[in-house]
Structure 1
Amino acid sequence: MTSSIRVGVIGLGAIGQNLLKAFTAHPEVRVTAVCDIDVSLAERTAQPLAASAWTDHRRMLDETDLDLVYVAVPPKYHHAIALDVIAAGRHILCEKPLALTLDEARDLQRAAQARGVVHALNLPLHGDPGIQTFHHLVQGGELGTLRRTELTLVFPQWPRGWQQNPWIGGREQGGPIREVGPHLLHVILTTLGPVARVWAHTEYPANDPDACEIAALGTLELENGSLVVVSCLTNVPRPEQVSLTVYGLAGTAGLVNWARPVAAQGQAPPEPVPVEGEQGAAGTRLVRALVGRVRGGSGDLVDFTMGVRIQAVLEAWEQSSATGTWVDVFRA
């Protein structure tokens, strides 16, 4: 009988709890340890799982037999905690963005590769059938020469109602560009190609130096010369919008509501495109892929190299916002 994959979870906030359900639902996975600085939360989460509860992740790593560790803490803690996980020889899944800075992200990439552990980033759009359909629409040639891409992010409230925590609305770690941006940057990088340089302008609240952005405009220049125009706006009286539109000489393809593909030929309005493939939950896909890779088989994961590529764009965006100039993107 194949033994279960023993999983530890560090960070038990909303995101960590969500993926915890996918881990516990997989028949080959056993969550054996959970860790959070809130001892009550750790104990409440551990009890129904028959898992051990910890407030010190180093002790958990030292004293618990684990195969895979999921790091679901806020971004500023990714670097230190993930390095401890990797040094302990555990396979690792990390929340996005990979780190707070590009240097930290590169540290994690190099450490994971050197240690030979499975390393993955949690990007739920990866493997989504709608995203795959969009990729085929763009790459299939029916749009003709690509002219421009537009990424639109609108949030009536930031932080969103389900995401109220001390850091998500802060300038140091949070904000929609850093929090939502990695999902769509991954789609852009895998569908359209690498980003060469970035220009960005960011607006912050006038009376709160610690608050994250309330609006942003920017342009990503791809290595093939085409442009992605980015518009982000928060705290406006309209529904949430996360959309990506690619304009070609012959047609248009896009994503609406994060992952629903639409397309049009000529001057016709965009219409929904049928999606083929399994419509399973993102967490289920991710855990299935992790199990496959940890067991030495196949599994389609976003690894830390892509995490570095995403981080490079985010860092160039922040540098451009600060300097008002175009900033070249580090090529991972």
Structure 2
Amino acid sequence: MTNFVRIGVIGLGAIGQNLLKAFTAHPEVQVTAVCDLDASLAERTAQPLAASVWTDHRRMLDEVDLDLVYVAVPPRQHHAIALDVIAAGRHILCEKPLALTLSEAQEMQRAAQAMGVVHALNLPLHGNPGVETFHHLVRDGGLGTLRRAELTLVFPQWPRGWQQNPWIGGREQGGPIREVGPHLLHVILNTLGPVARVWAHTEYPTDDPGACETAALGTLELESGALVVVSCLTNVPRPEQVSLTVYGSTGTAGLVNWTMPVSALREAPLESVPVEGAQAAAGTRLVQALVGRVRGTSGDLVDFTIGVRIQAILEAWERSSVVETWVDVAQA
């Protein structure tokens, strides 16, 4: 008889539902409990899974035997719910960004480490074969000395069509820098190294003080001294663009459409680079790694330590937008 890894899911919005499919597809995982403030949504989700239904996550933690809990609620609620999960001794997977503030993220990291539970952040680009190919191109592709990098984020509408919810378009929790930024910041940290300081300019709607940014322009200065120029623009008549380009003294490498690697040496045009290996879905990779770590074996995860480093950059970005000058990134 299979000894299932028992999963509880808190938050059943679009993101939570998406990863729920990867959990249910894994032969060693059992989604045992689901929790959402919307009782009817929780009931509909639980019925085909034969999972128990909850609207109070604390009661769920008290009354259901769980190995791991996936926290898929809006960012403002991450801190309190994650601390409850960790205090209950459950392994934890949390959505990004890790928290609403750096201090909250640091407290979550310290609590998870002190309790000795597995702690992970859901960043689907981690382990993606195209992103891994880009990483090797930058490190081993003959680009020479790093000159500059450029991160471009363009969205024809924000929130995107599949993201219609009360918070994703708000200034407190949402916006493209906070929502999409962590994915690419992780790639930058992993490929180019730590960020030392940030300069940012952010534009908000003049008629809605609660709305998130419509545009942003900034610079990340790496500890190496190299610069990453960041350009973000929403609500323009263009297809979505998420790209990262790295310029070296002898070559260029990039990611286009999130995960497609391109490269060129010297003045040659950028060309697609073949990606080797099977491209398993991000959710499949993540769930497999979680199962391994919960069972005490191997599993490549982005842990809360990386989440804190990303949070430090986001906080420096937001602070710089206010003070209109360079802001040092807190050491995490």
Q: TM-score range by the shorter chain?
A: over 0.9
- Are 1:264 and 2:268 counterparts? no
Q: In the aligned structure 2, how far is the partner of 1:141 from the partner of 1:252?
A: 9
| 180-189 or 136-145, which deviates more | 136-145
- Please name the residue that 1:217 is paired with: 217
The amino acid across from 1:265 in the alignment is L
- Please name the residue that 2:303 is paired with: 303
Q: In the aligned structure 1, how far is the partner of 2:267 from the partner of 2:235?
A: 33
The amino acid across from 1:39 in the alignment is A
Q: Tell me the alpha carbon deviations over residues 249-271 of structure 1, each in whole angstroms, 9 at most, x when there is no partner.
A: 10100000001000001111100
The amino acid across from 1:240 in the alignment is E
- Please name the residue that 1:287 is paired with: 287
The amino acid across from 1:40 in the alignment is S
- Are 1:248 and 2:248 counterparts? yes
- Are 1:121 and 2:127 counterparts? no
- Please name the residue that 1:156 is paired with: 156
- Are 1:111 and 2:130 counterparts? no
- Please name the residue that 2:319 is paired with: 319
Q: Tell me the alpha carbon deviations over residues 259-289 of structure 1, each in whole angstroms, 9 at most, x when there is no partner.
A: 1000001111100000012201000000000
- Please name the residue that 1:67 is paired with: 67
The amino acid across from 2:204 in the alignment is Y
- Please name the residue that 1:89 is paired with: 89
Q: Tell me the alpha carbon deviations over residues 185-205 of structure 1, each in whole angstroms, 9 at most, x when there is no partner.
A: 000000000000000000000
- Please name the residue that 2:147 is paired with: 147
Deviation at 1:175, TM superposition (A): 0.1
Q: Tell me the alpha carbon deviations over residues 63-95 of structure 1, each in whole angstroms, 9 at most, x when there is no partner.
A: 000000000000000000000000000000000
Q: In the aligned structure 2, how far is the partner of 1:230 from the partner of 1:6?
A: 41
- Please name the residue that 2:39 is paired with: 39
| 132-141 or 7-16, which deviates more | 132-141
Q: Tell me the alpha carbon deviations over residues 1-28 of structure 1, each in whole angstroms, 9 at most, x when there is no partner.
A: 4410100000000000000000000000
Written as runs of structure 1 = structure 2, the 5 A alignment for 1:158-197 is: 158-197=158-197
Q: In the aligned structure 2, how far is the partner of 1:182 from the partner of 1:330?
A: 16
The amino acid across from 2:188 in the alignment is I
Deviation at 1:141, TM superposition (A): 5.0
Q: In the aligned structure 1, how far is the partner of 2:151 from the partner of 2:303?
A: 24
Q: In the aligned structure 2, how far is the partner of 1:150 from the partner of 1:268?
A: 19
Q: In the aligned structure 1, how far is the partner of 2:298 from the partner of 2:93?
A: 16
- Please name the residue that 1:228 is paired with: 228
The amino acid across from 1:177 in the alignment is I
Q: In the aligned structure 2, how far is the partner of 1:277 from the partner of 1:117?
A: 31
1:318 partner SS: helix
Q: In the aligned structure 1, how far is the partner of 2:42 from the partner of 2:232?
A: 36
1:34 partner SS: strand
Q: In the aligned structure 1, how far is the partner of 2:173 from the partner of 2:4?
A: 35
The amino acid across from 1:318 in the alignment is E
- Please name the residue that 2:130 is paired with: 130
Q: In the aligned structure 1, how far is the partner of 2:146 from the partner of 2:306?
A: 24
- Please name the residue that 1:20 is paired with: 20
- Please name the residue that 2:80 is paired with: 80
The amino acid across from 2:133 in the alignment is T
Q: Tell me the alpha carbon deviations over residues 175-227 of structure 1, each in whole angstroms, 9 at most, x when there is no partner.
A: 00000000000000000000000000000001000000000000000000000
The amino acid across from 1:93 in the alignment is L
CA RMSD of aligned residues (A): 0.5
- Please name the residue that 2:48 is paired with: 48
Alignment gaps of 5+ in structure 2:
none
2:283 partner SS: helix
2:8 partner SS: strand
Q: In the aligned structure 1, how far is the partner of 2:331 from the partner of 2:136?
A: 25
1:330 partner SS: coil
The amino acid across from 1:232 in the alignment is C
1:83 partner SS: helix
The TM-score, its normalising length taken from structure 2, stands at: 0.99
Q: In the aligned structure 1, how far is the partner of 2:218 from the partner of 2:297?
A: 41
Q: In the aligned structure 2, how far is the partner of 1:29 from the partner of 1:165?
A: 29
The amino acid across from 1:50 in the alignment is A
- Would you identify which runs of 4 or more consecutive aligned residues in structure 1 move more than 3 Å? none
Q: In the aligned structure 1, how far is the partner of 2:133 from the partner of 2:64?
A: 42
- Please name the residue that 2:102 is paired with: 102
Percent of pairs with identical residues: 84
2:158 partner SS: coil
1:279 partner SS: coil
